[in-house]
Structure 1
Amino acid sequence: MRKQAVSYLFPRLSGAVIACFLGAATCLVGPAFSAKEGNGAPSASPASSTANLSDEEIRKRVGDLQKQLDELKALLNQKQGAQPAAPSPGPESPKPAAKANPVTTAQKFRFGGFVQLRAFDDQTTTNGPKSESRVDQFNVRRARLEFTGDLGKAAGARLTFDVGGTAVSAKDAYLEVKADPALFRLGQFKIPFDYEILQPAAELMALERSLANQRLFPGNRDRGVMVDVDLAKELQTPVSLKLGVVNGTGQNQNDKGESKDVFATLAYTRPRLQGLISGLAGRFEFTPTGGATIDTPKRRFGVSLHGMSGDWDFHGQYTTGHGDFPQGGGAPLLTGKLGPTEAYNNKDVDGWYAMASRKLRDTPFTLWSKYESFDPDTDTGGDAIHIGALGALYDVNPQLRFSLGLYRKSFQAVPDDTTFGFQSQVKF
């Protein structure tokens, strides 16, 4: 009952009780402290019973009052469910330095590609050259899967496959290491011989590269090592030098002997003007039908220019050299009657092309024209091929492009051949 009474009365009396205790403590302590200071007689005390108490007794009573006050505070806290006071916050701990976001796998390695779907109609006359392009057809010209990745701050890799043919074919497959001012490349890569060769297939204006490039550099690639040295700082002009050693057997072909091809390309690069001067040297062996094996030098020399002016784009190339190129391997649109392979394995050749294109302002259309020539044997007349072409591009968006091309091919000793081609390209 006593505890319940206290609980019942406590909320109503706690404030008054605390005030009374504090008042009593003040009355007891005040006179004592004044007397101790010796500033005259102590002031009259309302409680005369405490006037003659000693200092020790006064301190004891104050202690008792303080003890009772603490007990009352504890009961009040228990009644109201109060929590202990939170400790005062200490000095704030220093925050660790922010860490850079780790590079994710998606940022290190990237995937892309494109697909080119094509149809062409060949109007070859009955007496025309017997070539692959006499067959009208639909085909998948290219279906590329491209993987690129960063292997640290100064290294990277690229792997490209074409899955549009009858078998999967490796295109680019190389490792790059950068050591300023040089860039080293090891694997299968493009030979930097001409602007058209270096241009990605998805960005070509014409439906095909020139016949000279297709015959002299089948697949545009070879296997070996190359170093690209930036000479801009040393020469105070945007020039770089590319040097390399390759098998000399072309794309996806291992070397069959000790001989290697070496090449050098001097490149001049400005935003609206680029130029290449290239040379390649090596040796090759071939065995003609019924004859002995012949060992002969292989040579290539070329000059390539690319320029832009307003909405116009111009580029061209001249190439000359000494044989060793396959009779086949040209794209169906451009393939002509070149005769047996061995007939051109030890001959002097030359070829050139010139091309102009114009983007129609404020439209998605681009018009282009191209003329090219290739002579597989400069010592013999009547076997040169001349090709004139007109075409248009329609870029629906950065991922979708439609292309048209009309090719007129002249084989000198035989009637001309006309081919119409259409291509749709999707990038991803």
Structure 2
Amino acid sequence: MRPLASLLLACLLPAMISAQDLTPSAPPGPKAKSWYDSFSIRGYAHLRYNRLLETNDLLRCQACDASWGRDGGIFLRRARVIISGHVHPRVYLYMQTDFAQGVAPNAQNIAQIRDWYMDIGLDPTNEFRVRLGQSKVPYGFENLQSSSERLPLDRADPTNSGAPNERDLGAFLYWSPKKYRDLFKELKEAGMKGTGDYGIVGIGAYNGQSANRAEANDDLNVVARISVPMRIGSQIIEPGVQAYTGRYTVTADQRSGAKGNSNWTYDDQRVAGTLVLYPKPFGFLAEYNVGKGPEYDVATDSISTKDLSGGFITATYRLIVKDQMFMPFARYQVYDGGKKNETDARSYSVNDMEFGVEWLPFKNFELTVEYYLGDRRFEDHGLQSNKQKGELLRIQAQFNF
């Protein structure tokens, strides 16, 4: 019997082992989320051509578009990639790189940081948060708008000259109660050309020399902004006021021979008012600022602190046709003052008009056609008695992902 039992055991053992293998195991527990699981990648790009119907190839705007005027061609104006997400419920990280920066006329499409900051929530709901790093300075509604949202192809001179490149290294405190955060989100998701959430109150300190430039004096700039969206019937308006004070140093690489004071450092102060009517379907954005800052003086061939003023109004209409969006727009702007970050704090007198239309056939592509009528005086040590008038047709393709 013993040999027979052994034989049966030998025959049954593989089957028993196989049956054990088929026994269902307990499902694995939920995998712990890693810090990077909340991150998203998105971006956009602008491809432009500005030379159609051009009447004066000496009409330029350095801060607007390097392909304006003589020797301009097809131009990659922006190529942005954004990585962002929460590494903790109260810590938000935002990184934006532009792969279309130019460091010299023949050195284009260089990668450069635009934004790199952290938001630190000061309470469990992040109603109060501190933003640390390189980010937008809260001065001007249009400056805070993403270029992917703005209708005119470039920012207006009056307010953008106060915050060139819109960004700087600094620390900013924002207060954004939940009902306003929800409204900012609603406006953005509805395609209303908002700014996103910069709070209803923002204050901060920053270097003052603009993005990706080293601090050049011992004075931090201070900025404050109040901007409160509100519903009035079916419409939403957003009045705001903002101001900054500080000092700006015209560094050696920004001078071409003009005279200046002993340390090349000048008072830099502005205050601006804003009124927005979101397009439902008609809308407008109006901003005006006054102040003082460095400006080239042709009469003395020198840079000095001078008064400045200027503003703009942009009107638009939002039209939906068979799931496609059309937004015709027109903008008028005036500005008299300096541009501190340009050569010799270049002196400007601007009286420009532009009108166009943005077409959004689907969310990943936009086409904007704009006709520009420019009347600009822009002068520095090497470019005196320079007043240019002209017109041009501009075309931009925007790709969103």
Q: Same fold (TM over 0.5)?
A: yes
- Correspondences of 1:8-407 after superposition (within 5 Å): 102-103=32-33, 107-121=37-51, 123-125=54-56, 133-135=68-70, 136-165=72-101, 166=108, 167-180=110-123, 181-230=127-176, 240-270=200-230, 272-286=236-250, 289=259, 292-293=262-263, 295-308=265-278, 310-324=280-294, 343=302, 345-362=304-321, 363-376=324-337, 384-407=349-372
Conserved 8 A contact 1:323-1:344? no
Determine which structure has the larger strand proportion and give its number: 2
Greater CA drift, 276-285 or 219-228: 276-285
Partners of 1:240 and 1:400 in 2: CA distance: 31
In the other structure, the counterpart of 2:375 is: 410
Greater CA drift, 116-125 or 273-282: 116-125
Q: Which amino acid aligns with 1:113?
A: G
Q: Which amino acid aligns with 1:304?
A: T
1:23-67 CA distances to partner (integer Å, 9 max, x unpaired)? xxxxxxxxxxxxxxxxxxxxxxxxxxxxxxxxxxxxxxxxxxxxx
Shift of 1:415: 5.5
Q: 1:194 to 1:284 in 2, by over 3 A?
A: closer
Conserved 8 A contact 1:344-1:376? no
Q: Secondary structure at the match of 2:100?
A: coil
Q: 1:99 to 1:347 in 2, by over 3 A?
A: farther
Shift of 1:112: 1.1
1:218-240 CA distances to partner (integer Å, 9 max, x unpaired)? 1000111001124689xxxx983
Partners of 1:408 and 1:163 in 2: CA distance: 30
Shift of 1:214: 3.1
Q: Secondary structure at the match of 1:259?
A: coil
Partners of 1:253 and 1:415 in 2: CA distance: 30
Q: Secondary structure at the match of 1:197?
A: helix
Greater CA drift, 413-422 or 149-158: 413-422
Shift of 1:258: 1.6
Tell me whether 1:419 sits opposite 2:392 in the alignment. Answer: yes
Percentage of matched positions with identical amino acids: 19
RMSD (Å) for aligned C-alpha atoms: 3.5
Partners of 1:284 and 1:203 in 2: CA distance: 30
Q: Secondary structure at the match of 1:164?
A: strand
Q: 1:273 to 1:97 in 2, by over 3 A?
A: farther
Paired positions, count = 321
Shift of 1:212: 2.0
1:398-425 CA distances to partner (integer Å, 9 max, x unpaired)? 0101110111011378452112100101
Structure 2 unaligned regions, length at least 5: 1-7, 9-25, 63-67, 102-107, 185-198, 252-257, 339-346, 378-385
Q: Secondary structure at the match of 2:161?
A: helix
Shift of 1:295: 4.5
Q: Secondary structure at the match of 2:305?
A: coil
Q: 1:157 to 1:124 in 2, by over 3 A?
A: same
Shift of 1:144: 0.5
Q: Which amino acid aligns with 1:303?
A: G
Q: 1:224 to 1:358 in 2, by over 3 A?
A: same
Partners of 1:99 and 1:275 in 2: CA distance: 51
Greater CA drift, 148-157 or 103-112: 103-112
Partners of 1:119 and 1:139 in 2: CA distance: 6
Partners of 1:130 and 1:404 in 2: CA distance: 18
Q: Which amino acid aligns with 2:37?
A: Q
Structure 1 unaligned regions, length at least 5: 1-77, 79-95, 328-337
